[in-house]
Copies of this chain bind each other. A is one copy, B any other.
Amino acid sequence: MSFLNKKAPPLEVSDWLNTKTPLTLAELKGQVVVVHTFQMLCPGCVMHGTQQAKTIYENFAGKDVQVIGLHTVFEHHEVMDKKALEVFIHEFKIPFPVAIDKPSKSGTIPMTMEKYQLRGTPSMLIIDKAGSLVLSHFGQINDMQIGAIIGQLLMADAPR
């Protein structure tokens, strides 16, 4: 787990699914933002990370917490395209907005993943109300810790 406490860079997104309006971190200031980065064919995502992101959504709905899925495809790009992701979102009943990380022009790692220097999927990013990256965690992390971090961030004053 690494606590970075620096301003979270903007998400680079090629497409938004499961939402009528695109989201930006800038506009989400004043809310705690949880970004679940995943690949739809990554077992650790499907069986743990994505379920946990749904639990976060359920526990903090209506409480100044925005959950976002970020599909950071860095392998097998051809079978994890937008169409496939739409089916995944439908079948797995994902209740929160999902962004597609913008493909890189020069490599296999998409742009947000690169910028945040994520080590793989699933990774969880938590951004405080002021827009600082508080947590960037690769792999599993227990529900109680997640709850504690979000709980603490909710208590901080919103930025003016």
Binding site for B on A (CB under 8 A): 40-43, 46-47, 55-56, 59-60, 76, 78-81, 83-84, 87-88, 91-93, 142-152, 154-156
Contact = CB atoms under 8 A, between A and B. Distances in A.
Nearest to A43: B92
Contacts of A142: 55, 59, 143
Contacts of A155: 151-152, 155-156
A105 B133 CA distance: 53
Between A55, A91, A148, A155, the greatest number of chain B beta carbons within 10 A of the residue's beta carbon is seen for A148
Contacts of A152: 151-152, 154-155
Q: Kindly report how many copies of this chain are found in the complex they form together.
A: 4
Between A81, A93, A142, A149, the greatest number of chain B beta carbons within 10 A of the residue's beta carbon is seen for A142
Contacts of A83: 78-79
A88 B76 CA distance: 10
A21 to B, nearest CB: 25
Nearest to A81: B79
Nearest to A145: B59
Instruction: Name the 7 nearest CB pairs between A and B, nearest first.
Output: A147-B147, A151-B151, A148-B151, A155-B155, A144-B147, A79-B84, A147-B148
A79 B79 CA distance: 7
Contact of A87 (B47, B79, B151): B79
Nearest to A39: B91
A88 B41 contact: yes
